[in-house]
Amino acid sequence: QTLVPLEADADANALASAIRAGFAGDDTALERIPTGAGTDFQRRVWNACRTIPRGETRTYGAIAQQLGGGHALCRAVGQALRRNPLPIVVPCHRVVAGNGLGGYAGDVGGKLAQIKRMLLALERSPPSAPC
């Protein structure tokens, strides 16, 4: 199998450019990237997650209520976020538990939870200059 250099792949370049812009504070660049495959419910959760502004959080319960299901859907919201295929594009780290941090990709106390804390802290800081 032949590998295509990154410079030759327009889609990869567009994604990389959007991610760089996102890390520099431009969330609108990330909004143009499709979330990918998933169930209808997962895509609804991912899209709701994408509406959370940088530096802010929402609880699993708030997302469940936004989707019209009330707190009964909290666990399903968490499971949909756990299956998020593009965590940079769909900022699932912005969704927290009602009583604390919650999990990140299924991890509630390990390295991934540390990454969630770091991402939340990074977003609360002023954006830096683009890479």
- Name the residues annotated as catalytic: 92
Q: Which two three-digit tokens encode residue 49? A: 């997650």
Residue 98 main-chain phi, psi, to 5 deg: -65, -20
CB contact at 8 A, 31 and 50? yes
Q: Which two three-digit tokens encode residue 7? A: 């410079």
DSSP at 107: B
- Helix ranges (H only) for 5-110 are 10-23, 27-31, 40-50, 60-66, 74-82
